[in-house]
Structure 1
Amino acid sequence: MTKSVNLYLASGVFKGVGFWVVNFTEEENIFNSLGSKLLECYRKELFGLDGAIEVKGAINTTLDILCLDSKYDQYKLDNYNTGYSSEIPINTIEDIFDLWAYNYSNPTLWKKYIGLLNLRKKIKTNNNYINIGLKGDTYEFAMKLDGLLSFKPINSSSRKDRSNELMW
């Protein structure tokens, strides 16, 4: 049996810049894991070490895809060395965390869901032709994942290319 760790979602500040971080620690108090950089913990789940590594990888891959897709849409969501942009709303981050943490308990579905995530990572855009061939739990999961990855920042000032926008 592997040792138990706490997988957590927290917000923090480093050099005046806010960020989100998903990580795990053996300590009960997660605020000791990154020093004084963490401000608030939003999710904390107990996993075995192997499970925490897998779930953290899935969550971080999903967030990487979200940030990459926003870059393709000419929105700036920077990944920082310590975590992800604080411009991503808490409800989106929590939903991604919950989606992966909840679905880890079923090994058969987990393999299918990781396969979908890896395919989504390679394709780089939402492709409904893939979803047409899915059914049941896998189809529902793919639709949830696409819904979470469809987030776009509301503030249009974060767009990189504003040359085509109207002045008034």
Structure 2
Amino acid sequence: MNNAVNLYLASGVSEGIGFWVVNFTDEDNVFNSLDSKLLECYRKELFGLEGAIEVRKAINATLDILSCDSKLDKYKLDNNNIGYSSEIPIYIIEDIFDLWASNYNNKILWKKYLGILNFRNKIKKNNRYIQIGLKGDTYKFAIKLDQLMSFRPINLSFRLDKSKDLMW
């Protein structure tokens, strides 16, 4: 049996630090989740349990890659044990959520998109090797995914290592 659950994107605060979380619940009110640490719900989609697990996993993997790439590029994002840094803009989080939630229904493309995500996770940096052999919907998806994961904070004060910045 495949129970219906609500997959949601919400913001919250824990110990004075803001965070984003993507999770699912069988309750209609997502604010009952995470011990009332949630402040606002930005997205809420009805999925079957299996679908919610798969989509949440894809969204969280995308956010993990984004966070890891930011660290490799020496950008500091606040860490939180509950969710992802609130320094990532809402439009990036919403676009990632929408990208995966809207593409779940087509099982053939879904498997291809997961393959692109897994390959992107293995290479650890954004490069054009992913797009060389792609065409059609998978090519468009790979381009959109790379655009979303290329976010870096504008403010250079987030940089951990500023030794390579120009003097003038």
TM-score normalised to the size of structure 2?
0.97
| Unpaired segments ≥5 residues, structure 2 | none
Unaligned runs of 5+ in 1: none
Paired residues, number: 168
Q: Secondary structure at 2:134's aligned position in 1?
A: coil
Q: Which amino acid aligns with 1:59?
A: I
Distance in 2 of aligned mates of 1:166 and 1:126: 23
Report the AA paired with residue 6 of structure 2: N
Match of 1:51 in 2: 51
Give the Å deviation of 1:166. Answer: 4.8
Aligned to 1:26: 26
- Superposed displacement of residue 127, structure 1: 2.0
Using the TM superposition, give the Cα deviation of residue 35 of structure 1 relative to its aligned residue in structure 2, in angstroms.
1.9
Please tell me whether the aligned partners of residues 55 and 100 of structure 1 are also in contact (alpha carbons under 8 angstroms): yes
Correspondence for 2:117: 117
TM-superposition CA deviations, 1:3-61 (whole Å, max 9, x none): 00000000000000000000000000000011220000000000000000000000000
SS of corresponding position for 1:42: strand
What corresponds to 1:152 in structure 2?
152
Check the 8 A contact 2:17/2:80 in 1, yes or no: no
CA distance, structure 1, for counterparts of residue 164 and residue 125 of structure 2: 23
The AA in structure 2 aligned to 1:82 is I
Deviation at 1:130, TM superposition (A): 2.4
Q: Which residue of 2 aligns with 1:17?
A: 17
Query: Once superposed, which parts of structure 1, at least 4 consecutive aligned residues long, lie more than 6 Å away?
Result: none
Separation in 1, partners of 2:166, 2:74: 17
In the TM superposition, residue 167 of structure 1 has moved relative to its aligned partner by 5.7
